Amino acid sequence: AQKVTQAQTEISVVEKEDVTLDCVYETRDTTYYLFWYKQPPSGELVFLIRRNSFDEQNEISGRYSWNFQKSTSSFNFTITASQVVDSAVYFCALSEKTSGSRLTFGEGTQLTVNP
């Protein structure tokens, strides 16, 4: 069975600090996909990134970076020089090839960036 754990329920930082959101996953499949979504106070889930299980290369997009490590079953997300607009709930999610297209989400991390 697939499972995603986001151990950090809430994180509060001051603007311009770097912050890392942790995600640990469980799966028996060798082919799977990992995702991060952002849910601002307005409520809409915004897609940020997708990685497949065969591509462990880390990725950077502006102030966002992702560290995928199969050895520790982790897919962590770092925001560099955080801004108030980064305040949101962030969800990590997993999709296994053998279980169709369903996404299994973690419980989310509420990030608050204070000015």
Partner 1 sequence: DTGVSQNPRHKITKRGQNVTFRCDPISEHNRLYWYRQTLGQGPEFLTYFQNEAQLEKSRLLSDRFSAERPKGSFSTLEIQRTEQGDSAMYLCASSLERGMGPQHFGDGTRLSIL
In the complex with partner 1, the residue whose CB is nearer, 56 or 107, is 107
Count the neighbouring beta carbons within 10 Å of the beta carbon of residue 58: 13
Residue 97 touching partner 1 (CB under 8 A): yes
Q: Is 13 in the site for partner 1 (CB under 8 A)?
A: no
CA-angle at 34, arms to 25 and 59, nearest 5°: 115
Q: Closest CB to partner 1 among 47 and 84?
A: 47
Task: Please identify, using beta-carbon distances, which residue of 78 and 104 lies nearer to partner 1.
Answer: 104
What three-state secondary structure class fits 97?
Answer: helix
Least distance to partner 1, CB of residue 16, Å: 28
The answer to whether residue 61 forms part of the interface with partner 1 (CB under 8 A) is no
Rounded Cα gap, residues 78 and 64, in angstroms: 6
CA distance 115 to 13: 9
Q: What is the spatial distance between Cα 22 and Cα 26, in angstroms, rounded to a whole number?
A: 14
- Interface residue with partner 1 among 12, 20, 30, 52 (CB under 8 A) is 52
Q: Rule CB under 8 A: which residues touch partner 1?
A: 4, 33, 35, 37, 42-47, 50, 52, 91, 93, 95, 97, 100-108
